[in-house]
Amino acid sequence: MQRKTLVRVLLGLLFIVSFSGFAQDEHGMEVKEVAPGEKGSKTKKEEIKEFINHHLLDSHDFNFFGSTNEETGETHHYGFSLPVIIWDGGLHTFMSSEFHHNNGVATSNGNHYTLHHEKIYRTDAEGTLNYDKEHGDHPTNVRPLDFSITKSVVMMLVVGLLLIWLFRSLAKSYAKNGSLPKGAGRFFEPIVLYIRDDIAIANIGEKKYKKYLPFLLTTFFFIWFLNMFGLTPLGVNVTGNIAVTTGLAVIVFLITTFTGTKDYWKHIFDPLGDGMPWAGKILIYIILVPIEILGLFIKPFALLIRLYANMTAGHVVLMSLVGLIFIFKSWIGGPLSFGLSFAISLIELLVALLQAYIFTMLAALYFGFASESHADHEVHEGEIQHL
């Protein structure tokens, strides 16, 4: 029965992924048609590159797909606009659809704003952007603090609600069903148990894992679900956004720092302990202690870069392969690219799970270091001496 459910879930995912291939085709079409109208002459390669870059960024609109009028070259986007919230000497709120009227300039309380590569700049009424030609091609206009509810924020909310609904119903099904899971819970319960037994208890230890377990579970499912949503036709790239991974890593860093035991800090500032006279220690500590302190920050930094890079790379590869279809435009290249992108999609399914696992696993490992007590510590050192 459980196996049957698993097979069904996998089949469902396969369906979604194969569908995403088509959906991204549609996105590709959109670029192909839109770009000439807007930007004049550009090679197809550049168009695709731009489209991919655009996709990797967060968006102020929630677009499902767009279609272009062949004659006018105008694109109509199907989706919905999202609220824009900016702090620029005062609170400005308006819907993102404002950016699409009036030559791309939104007006709020006498200030004018425009979007350039999904970033909001303050401009004049005409929407002029001054470019800094020396340092790349960035506009030099003022960027107000942007607290907009973007596509990524919406996706995080959706995933959050989904998680709450899913695991709330799992929790309830225990009461009804005589402490046995029901339905989707049969699929998720083993994962919860795996995280408890093989991630939390294995890395943190039987005594202290309970404190960290809710965080580990939430992190795992949050990342996994966002990764999976990234593979759907919705085309959101939340976990491939550096701000999101930074947020997660910052929380890991804060938890590690504030739950660190005396032994943890001693390990950082006095790693050799009583094994060496103080005169010798000073010489070594000049190098060792800064490295240990740096390590405190490098650990979560590695977490955030790993997740960001993996998810971004996956999306780039996948979309490039889809883009190849429009470059080859042949009966051989098309199916070949489709086959390749399908294969990569399957790998991405694995990566989605793997990255969530690795993030959770490493977070648990850091928590394990932080909550290490003296007794564990000695065992640990003993092991090292044996090695």
Partner 1 sequence: MEKLINDFSFGLFFWQIIIFVLLLLLLRKFAWKPILGAVNDREEGIKNALDSAEKAKLEMQNLQADNEKLLQEARAEREMMMKEAREIKAKMISDAKEDAKIEADKMVAHAQAAIESEKKSAIAELKQQVASLSLEIAEKVVKHELSDKDKQLKLVEEMLGDAKLN
Binding site for partner 1 (CB under 8 A): 57-58, 85, 119, 136, 138, 145-150, 152-153, 156-157, 160, 163-164, 167-168, 170-172, 174-175, 179-180, 189, 192-193, 196, 213-215, 217-218, 222, 241-244, 246-248, 250-251, 308
Neighbours of 71 (CB within 10 A): 6
Least Å from the CB of residue 317 to partner 1: 18
Give the residue with the Cβ less far from partner 1, 26 or 146.
146
* Amino acid in the structure at residue 381: E
Please provide the DSSP assignment of 66-124 as one string: EEE-TTT--EEEEEEE-EEEEESSSEEEEEGGGGGSGGGEEEETTEEEEEETTEEEEE-
Question: In angstroms, rounded to a whole number, what is the distance separating the alpha carbons of residues 343 and 318?
Answer: 9
Write out the H or E segment, with its range, that includes residue 131: strand 131-132
Say which residues have a Cβ less than 8 Å from residue 219's Cβ, sequence separation at least 6. 248, 252, 356, 359, 360, 363
Least distance in angstroms from the C-beta of 190 to partner 1:
11
Smaller CB separation from partner 1, 21 or 185: 185
Please, which residue, 87 or 265, has the CB nearer to partner 1?
A: 87
State the minimum distance, in angstroms, from the CB of residue 174 to partner 1.
4
End-to-end CA distance of the chain: 46
Distance CA 374, CA 384 (A): 15
Nearer to partner 1, 174 or 328 (CB): 174
Least Cβ distance, residue 247 to partner 1 (angstroms): 4
Residue placing its CB nearer to partner 1 in the complex, 144 or 271: 144
Q: Which is nearer to partner 1, 200 or 321 (CB)?
A: 200
DSSP state of 139: E
Q: How far is the CB of 235 from partner 1 (least distance, A)?
A: 17
Q: How far is the CB of 324 from partner 1 (least distance, A)?
A: 24
HEC profile for 335-374?
A: HHHHHHHHHHHHHHHHHHHHHHHHHHHHHHHHHHHHCCCH
To partner 1, the closest distance from the beta carbon of 159 in angstroms equals 8
64 or 215: whose CB is closer to partner 1?
Answer: 215
